[in-house]
Amino acid sequence: MKHLSVPYINIDDTSVIAEISRKLDHVHQEIINNSPWAAFPYKPEVSFAMAHGDSGVFLKFFVEEKHVRAVCSEPNQPVYKDSCVEFFVSFGDEPEYYNFEFNCAGTCLLSFGEERTNREMTSPELIRSIAFQSTMKPATSKDANIGWELTVAIPFAAFQYHQITSMKGKKCRANFYKCGDELPEPHFLAWNTIQTEEPDFHRPEFFGTVEFN
């Protein structure tokens, strides 16, 4: 099981997304490269950096892939069909978990519950409080990958079923993913590997551990 130590950075406003993005460039990056399903062999290059501050949790994803898709533009649309990165997290030993899913344009799907079905969807108003910055690096040749980066600043209020005012010292369970269900080469990558016959990210028993310093 993987373990991630998340550093604190001195930022108290989740809206200053450009500054958050710059600071995350200097944070250790973790690789998302576990692809345990033989039917989906394609593996784009994916990594992420994570930190926390006085007002929220910060993530920056770095992606290089053959194709990019960004059709979803409204909160809670099926962004997993696009070029998508995801962050699933649960607190303590609770069976419920949050799933934050973002396409490369920053559109977010967010819900909470114990399993894939019967989840509580987050309101579009609360989802829009998640600041983001998306950048695209077009391919330099026909055969080159397309690079994109996505920074998100998740305010503590987005964890609406928990009264969080600080992440300092908190220990969680989490996993991080990259997918693209309707891309020319569908793929399903995880940070902490998943042992199932078919792709399934909604498996908290395979979450890794995360500790906020």
CATH number of the domain enclosing 143: 2.60.40.1190
Are 36 and 187 a contacting pair, CB within 8 Å?
no
Look up residue 119 and give its amino acid. Answer: R
pLDDT of residue 162: 97
Say how far apart CA 190 and CA 172 lie, in whole Å. Answer: 17
> Residue 61: which domain range?
3-196+203-212
- What is the rounded end-to-end Cα distance, in angstroms, of the chain? 19
- Residue 94, CA distances (Å) to 88, 114, 158, 172 in order: 13, 9, 17, 10
Cβ atoms within 10 Å, residue 161? 13
Closest CA to 25 of 2, 9, 14: 9
pLDDT of residue 190: 98
pLDDT of residue 137: 87
pLDDT of residue 25: 98
Q: What is the pLDDT of residues 13-45, one digit of tens each?
A: 888 999 999 999 999 999 999 999 999 999 999
Q: Quote the number of domains for the chain.
A: 1
pTM value?
0.97
Q: What is the pLDDT of residues 159-179, one digit of tens each?
A: 999 999 999 999 999 999 999
Closest CA to 60 of 174, 131, 152: 152
